Structure 1
Amino acid sequence: MPHFKKLLEPGFIGPFRLKNRILKMGSTLGFYPWQDGHIQQEVIDAYENLAKGGVALVTVGAAPFGVPPGRGYLMDDDRFLPDMARLAEAIRKHDCIALVQAFHIGPMLPPFLRSEKLEPVAASSLRKEELPLPFLSPPRGLEKGEIKRIIEDFVSLAVRAKKAGFQGIEINAACNHFLNTFLSRAWNKRDDEYGPQNIENRARILTEILEGIRSENGRDFLIVVLINGAEIGLKDGITPEESRGIAQVLEKAGADAINIRAEFYFPARDPSRKDSTHFPDVALYPEPPFPVKGLMDERRYGRGGWVPLAHNVKKGVSIPVIVAGRLDPLLAEEVLEKGFVDFVYLNRALMADPELPKKLLEGRFEDVRPCTGCLTCFDNNERGNPPLCQVNPTLGKEKALEVWIATKRKKVLVIGGGPAGMEAARMAALRGHQVLLCDKSPRLGGSMLLASIVKGLEREDHLKLISYYERQLKKLKVEIRLNLTVDRSFVEKVAPDVLIVAVGGAHQIPSVPGIGGKKVLTGKALQEKLRFFLRFFGPKALISLSHIWMPIGKRVAIIGGQIQGCQLAEFLVKRGRKVWVLEETTEVGKGLPEVLIKPRLLDWLEAKGVRILSEAKVKRIHEKGVEVSIEGLRDEFIEVDTVITALPLLPNERAVKEFEGLAPEVYAIGDCKEPQLIVDAIAAGFNLGRTI
């Protein structure tokens, strides 16, 4: 059992003693329906739940300056003080330091939010061709008077936050937000005292904000400043040396701590599609776009990637340095123990399991629900939706989805050990029911096993989630029977009070001449082959072996270009195959996270020579290839060695119907009822398990 001595050790930031080294950063959890600017009760409940879980400090995501009202909540007027006070108290009553984050969105203002009164702004006016991110609208550089008013906005928010009971503020000067446009030479082209001539001038807007807050709130108010440790891949971007110099200036101006992350700029085949990210694991997906050694830590596929940049800053300041970036408890303990940083943000990890600190303190590391790194949370957030986590269905719905012990103990039979079945079994057992879980495969996991092999474990690790379920089901004394095909007679023999059918969806096999040929591998056949090999090898071994040998030719056509086909194409390209992706609709990549992941993967596939054809209907599969009708206008013959179907699943109506009427309560969940994503399957299992 690992020990987390350093992670659980108390520490100081400014005048405040923190009970451990685990912090929740100021990223917004999600967006609830607008309530005239007032903080929604769900927001208060979500942040209180994080504080109750044992984290030492929670930073609340605030309403940014520079965007119109209508999404989230506001903190720019004293009429919101009562809401802010309730939120601060909800956090503080759990011996947790309460901070609020402040930032100005600046040039990141989306085009659809622009108006005559609101426009993208930055340190300098830039032409389209000068923009670090070409998809942004050209911002207007601000006059000195306008800069002073924005400084006053930050100070006023800090004053209001202190009145409300918040103990400090985090100033977000990272990403591509307004304040960062002064720090970065790529954005800052001014020729006055706020210009790029030296570090002091570039940081002047920040030092004036700090001085204003200190003047109003005194030394007993915590100030953390978030800056980019580097702008990797950006011409004239912030360098590590410059970041250290900026941190030193901020320390002199009164900052209590420096939070370091990086902004990583992706090149793109189409320059207008160039993008950036502050997620180190995404920076290296699907593979590093350029050599990154010396720029970030690439040893763990991006996990902890920004630690060297934070350590670089720590060597130049005497105040605490904080870092985030796909950290888990084990890596965080190592980073702290080696003295690289003083505190860590476990952001996505805390969203996956808000009780993570409490479980570590109680010696229950094995009970921590792992974050898979899927980015469902971020993708959902960026689209303005309420909080959503792939593995934690209660995130943002803590009060609405409270779990209670069942009033009557029932015998529950779950057929299917995929994500929906495992979660339903876990929840039912947690509530006191007697649970039997059966699956025809040699191990639990269902669709997640196939996903782990195809997607790999670099960015999104579902094997850890499967292991979590295996441990939890064992602890909850769920009886598990594998290699068992359940039929009606078995169910009748068990005689359950509740029967849950979670057997997975039906494979979609297109009605195409030649689909039964030797060179065709359907999704169903592929899954059966994997199930066979899993009797002898674990998923990690199969991933390694697939780089050596696979029963697949060198030229492969994939029928299906949604999430299944695109991820399979990535798998095959990384194993040296020449690939064509044939999607009958226009929805190439459907199901992939729309923000960052989908555009990155599609751009990478094209760069690797993958031909992605939309509105491509396969007419016939021949001995030497496939005949395809493209957009209904022209036919094309593609010479390939292997054809693989990777199509969305269909509801498994036959399997569901087979078990109708065999128990007083019969439910179908997961793909067999409605094929969706893993996040939907786990939510379905949770919701059923908490109500039976």
Structure 2
Amino acid sequence: MSRYKKLLEPGYIGKVKTRNRIIKTGAAMNYWHKDDLKMNPKVKAFYEAFAKGGVGLLVVESPIVDYPLGGRWPQRYRLDDDRFIDGLKELVEVIHKHDCPTFLLLWHDGPWQNPLFPDVPPLYEGPPVGSYPIKLDTPLDFHRDLPRKLTISEIEEIIDKFAQAALRAKKAGFDGVEINAASSHLFHNFLSPFWNRREDDYGGSTENRARILINTIKEIKNRAGKDFAVSVIMNAIELGRAFGVQDDKCLTFEEAKKIALLLEEAGADALHVRSHWLGYHVGGFLPDYFFYPEPPVKDFPSLYYAKLHGKAANILLAAQLKKYLKIPIILVGKMDPDLGEKALREGKADFIAMNRRLLADPELPRKLAEGREDEIAPCTACGTCLDQSKGMERRCRINAAMGKEDPTIETSRDRKKVVIIGAGPAGMEAARISALRGHEVTLIEKEPKIGGLLDLAFLVKGPTPEDVLSIVKYYKTQLKRLKVNVITNKKADIELIKKLSPDVLIIAAGGKIVTPQIKGIDSKIVLTSDILHKQAKKYLKIFGPRLLYLLTKIWIPIGKRVVIIGGNLQGCEIAEFLVKRGRQVTIVEEGEKIGQGVVDFRLALLLEWFNKKGVSIYNNAKVLEITNKGVIIEKNGDRLLLEADTVIPLAPMMPNEELVEIFKNFAKEIYVIGDCKEPSLIVDAIASAWETARKI
């Protein structure tokens, strides 16, 4: 009997019966293209995984309803014409064959800047459109361009287009639609008094500002039928204090409650509750990232739940609205099964919406139902699924199958003896996939426990927003369940490999630490990566990562003024760590930009925070020499001394080619994966292992 009784019981949204109370939200994954008329295999595989995994209701991400004004990137399906119906029918059939109900998400990007991203060509030339010409000049939001005010006839056309799109969704077989009137999309742009300063039928009073959304719901019901479900996502509060705007100038909870009642009266079948921070776009739908690196406000309103640093941030808002509404309330905001079950039992919500946790493990609902919650792959909240630094298509750090046309792991016809050297992320994933394939697997790790450098990563990153130690916990469970022979505290040598006599040898022993060649590198104020690693490992063995992380807030053997040479991911994370421990930090980067390897939206938040904290950044700077007084650099032809008590020079890790040479003749098949082959990120290491092991 599962302990998630409430979470797993069926529910209703309108006439639609859900399999349980878990809803997969319609977040954009961008596996399509605006010119598609058919469903590509990648899209089908992505959504089928959730349907097979047992989710209660599956919401499919939003096609462009009003092309081109309603979109900002080409990696979206379209629904502005009947010719797109057949393609969606294919997808609905894939979902329905698993008896999973599905809604189609509809939204309009109207007021968002155009182009949205500097490296993504716009769908049209011209300004964005909105309720009124208001913009925000900040890199942390999507409103740098002044929108053109929509005319009344254009508003009515948009209402008509949403109704047409909903009818097309019904013809494609969807069980309902969900309208996204949250975040800072077009509908919210009308609902909010901060954005909407019109003085006509669509502005002014609460009822007027809600008119576009109310009329859209009514028109959908009129055309698609009253039994065709319509759910609405809405900000239950909009807060301006982080951007220097008074909260009462924005959408207050009291007014949001009034709007919610109007939506219910108009025919909405459910209300999906979110919140929004003016000027901090990501913090609205990823509430944990409003707290990264530190929250921009000290005081939170009473209805915003801040105690868990973003987890269940909207729970009090949802609970309050549930007191007034008869329709179901959907709660979202870094929810997990335990928080969800508790919220349902306490009557604070009727459904629990998730995205990132289901991306990490689409089988989460089924595993809960079968009492296998310890086998659920963890979402570490790394933000990779929102990263666009390597393209618009989304990836998942822990779930390398996401976004693949064929995500299946099949049993191999030939059982082989597979030996893996190195139990970091790549080695652990290679062991898991090899065992799933039916092979006899041995994993060798020279350290006393598996995980590679994840303990060290946790020491720098801390427990929030991303808890990398959950990766180790997950793999420990998986490797034990799959009966992988794990050998720790043992360095792989020729004698051991000969004794094991593998058919397949996978080398995942990590990259080589390199010390940059800089004049004065031997100075007494220098702490190289090698020294840092050795010192950290010594104390990690004594105290463990969680306690040592806390102890570093009391004392670390690093001077007050620190110069970090190298501004990539590692340099930025060390800088964040040191600033939080009261150090005055300077970053020197030879290239044009800092932050290579940092998830793009995280980098924007981090740079804003660095600026507030007084971190000095010298890009396009050449390091000439390290002295006992600091670092001498050349910048724009000038020679500068950056005074420091401690200098931390960083260099990219290098592939570990020596190990490959040593073991190249000890197995019929030899593969090199992870940092050992090409030093990169955790997501790349796991992906490398997944791709390699599933072919063995």
Give deviations 1:175-212, integer Å, cap 9, x for gaps.
11111111011111111121132x21111111111111
Give deviations 1:140-195, integer Å, cap 9, x for gaps.
11111111111000111111111111110001111111111110111111111211
Aligned mates of 2:123, 2:681 — CA distance in 1:
37
2:567 to 561, 572, 579: 561
Aligned mates of 2:137, 2:550 — CA distance in 1:
44
Aligned pair in 2 of structure 1 residues 330, 369: CA closer, same or farther (>3 Å)? same
Q: What is the Cα deviation at residue 91 of structure 1? A: 1.4
The percent of aligned pairs where both chains have the same amino acid is 44
Q: What is the Cα deviation at residue 522 of structure 1? A: 1.3
The answer for the alignment partner of 1:612 in structure 2 is 617
- The 8 Å contact of residues 384 and 394 in structure 2, kept in 1 or not, is answered as no
* Partner amino acid, structure 1, of 2:232: V
- The 8 Å contact of residues 106 and 122 in structure 1, kept in 2 or not, is answered as yes
Matches within 5 A, 1:393-542: 393-397=400-404, 399-542=405-548
* Partner amino acid, structure 2, of 1:249: L
Aligned mates of 1:519, 1:127 — CA distance in 2:
48
More displaced stretch, 224-233 vs 528-537: 528-537
Give deviations 1:338-390, integer Å, cap 9, x for gaps.
2221111111111111000000000000110011111111123x976333111
- The 8 Å contact of residues 40 and 73 in structure 1, kept in 2 or not, is answered as no
Mapped pair 1:190 → 2:198? yes
Please list every run of 5 or more consecutive structure 1 residues that lacks an aligned counterpart in the other structure.
Answer: 268-273
More displaced stretch, 200-209 vs 645-654: 645-654
Aligned mates of 1:151, 1:5 — CA distance in 2:
40
* Partner amino acid, structure 2, of 1:485: K
1:336 to 336, 344, 347: 344
Q: What is the Cα deviation at residue 2 of structure 1? A: 7.5
Aligned mates of 1:309, 1:303 — CA distance in 2:
13
The answer for the alignment partner of 2:268 in structure 1 is 255
Q: What is the Cα deviation at residue 135 of structure 1? A: 4.9
The answer for the alignment partner of 1:368 in structure 2 is 376
- The 8 Å contact of residues 141 and 279 in structure 2, kept in 1 or not, is answered as no
* Partner amino acid, structure 1, of 2:687: A
* Partner amino acid, structure 2, of 1:84: L
- The 8 Å contact of residues 67 and 113 in structure 1, kept in 2 or not, is answered as no
- The 8 Å contact of residues 30 and 384 in structure 1, kept in 2 or not, is answered as no
- The 8 Å contact of residues 266 and 276 in structure 1, kept in 2 or not, is answered as no
Aligned mates of 2:140, 2:454 — CA distance in 1:
38
Matches within 5 A, 1:107-186: 107-111=111-115, 119-126=127-134, 135-186=143-194
- The 8 Å contact of residues 353 and 370 in structure 1, kept in 2 or not, is answered as yes
Q: What is the Cα deviation at residue 502 of structure 1? A: 0.8
Please list every run of 5 or more consecutive structure 2 residues that lacks an aligned counterpart in the other structure.
Answer: none
Mapped pair 1:224 → 2:231? yes
Q: What is the Cα deviation at residue 312 of structure 1? A: 2.5
More displaced stretch, 249-258 vs 38-47: 38-47
* Partner amino acid, structure 2, of 1:529: Q
Aligned mates of 1:431, 1:495 — CA distance in 2:
19
Task: Determine helix, strand or coil for the equivalent of 1:107.
Answer: coil
Aligned pair in 2 of structure 1 residues 37, 125: CA closer, same or farther (>3 Å)? farther
Q: What is the Cα deviation at residue 26 of structure 1? A: 1.4
Q: What is the Cα deviation at residue 497 of structure 1? A: 1.2
Aligned mates of 1:226, 1:34 — CA distance in 2:
24
Aligned pair in 2 of structure 1 residues 476, 125: CA closer, same or farther (>3 Å)? same
- The 8 Å contact of residues 240 and 312 in structure 1, kept in 2 or not, is answered as no
Aligned mates of 2:567, 2:270 — CA distance in 1:
47
The answer for the alignment partner of 1:206 in structure 2 is 213
The answer for the alignment partner of 1:15 in structure 2 is 15
More displaced stretch, 520-529 vs 222-231: 520-529
- The 8 Å contact of residues 243 and 313 in structure 1, kept in 2 or not, is answered as no
TM-score by length of 1: 0.94
2:607 to 578, 602, 605: 602
Q: What is the Cα deviation at residue 655 of structure 1? A: 2.7
Task: Determine helix, strand or coil for the equivalent of 1:288.
Answer: coil
TM-score by length of 2: 0.94
More displaced stretch, 148-157 vs 300-309: 300-309
CA RMSD after TM alignment: 2.2
The answer for the alignment partner of 1:630 in structure 2 is 635
Aligned mates of 1:230, 1:182 — CA distance in 2:
14
Aligned pair in 2 of structure 1 residues 670, 389: CA closer, same or farther (>3 Å)? same
2:555 to 538, 549, 557: 549
The answer for the alignment partner of 1:270 in structure 2 is none
Aligned mates of 2:225, 2:32 — CA distance in 1:
34
Matches within 5 A, 1:250-289: 250-266=263-279, 277-289=284-296
The answer for the alignment partner of 1:271 in structure 2 is none
Aligned mates of 2:568, 2:35 — CA distance in 1:
37
Aligned mates of 2:165, 2:445 — CA distance in 1:
55
- The 8 Å contact of residues 75 and 84 in structure 1, kept in 2 or not, is answered as no
- The 8 Å contact of residues 458 and 469 in structure 2, kept in 1 or not, is answered as yes
- The 8 Å contact of residues 521 and 643 in structure 1, kept in 2 or not, is answered as yes
- The 8 Å contact of residues 63 and 77 in structure 2, kept in 1 or not, is answered as yes
1:389 to 389, 396, 399: 396
Aligned mates of 1:588, 1:132 — CA distance in 2:
17
Mapped pair 1:106 → 2:114? no
Aligned mates of 1:448, 1:37 — CA distance in 2:
44
Aligned mates of 1:323, 1:648 — CA distance in 2:
42
The answer for the alignment partner of 1:655 in structure 2 is 659
Aligned mates of 1:611, 1:131 — CA distance in 2:
19
Q: What is the Cα deviation at residue 15 of structure 1? A: 1.6
- The 8 Å contact of residues 105 and 177 in structure 1, kept in 2 or not, is answered as yes
* Partner amino acid, structure 2, of 1:325: G
* Partner amino acid, structure 1, of 2:573: Q
Q: What is the Cα deviation at residue 16 of structure 1? A: 2.1
Task: Determine helix, strand or coil for the equivalent of 2:186.
Answer: coil
Aligned mates of 1:116, 1:174 — CA distance in 2:
24
More displaced stretch, 125-134 vs 249-258: 125-134
* Partner amino acid, structure 2, of 1:123: S
Aligned mates of 1:487, 1:107 — CA distance in 2:
61
Q: What is the Cα deviation at residue 569 of structure 1? A: 0.5
Aligned mates of 2:135, 2:450 — CA distance in 1:
55
More displaced stretch, 547-556 vs 176-185: 547-556
Aligned mates of 1:457, 1:92 — CA distance in 2:
39
* Partner amino acid, structure 2, of 1:609: G
Aligned pair in 2 of structure 1 residues 82, 580: CA closer, same or farther (>3 Å)? same
* Partner amino acid, structure 2, of 1:24: K
Aligned pair in 2 of structure 1 residues 117, 543: CA closer, same or farther (>3 Å)? closer
More displaced stretch, 133-142 vs 3-12: 133-142
Aligned pair in 2 of structure 1 residues 676, 584: CA closer, same or farther (>3 Å)? same
* Partner amino acid, structure 1, of 2:451: G
1:379 to 379, 387, 398: 387
- The 8 Å contact of residues 360 and 378 in structure 2, kept in 1 or not, is answered as yes
Q: What is the Cα deviation at residue 130 of structure 1? A: 12
- The 8 Å contact of residues 292 and 298 in structure 1, kept in 2 or not, is answered as no
Aligned mates of 1:340, 1:181 — CA distance in 2:
27
- The 8 Å contact of residues 21 and 56 in structure 1, kept in 2 or not, is answered as yes
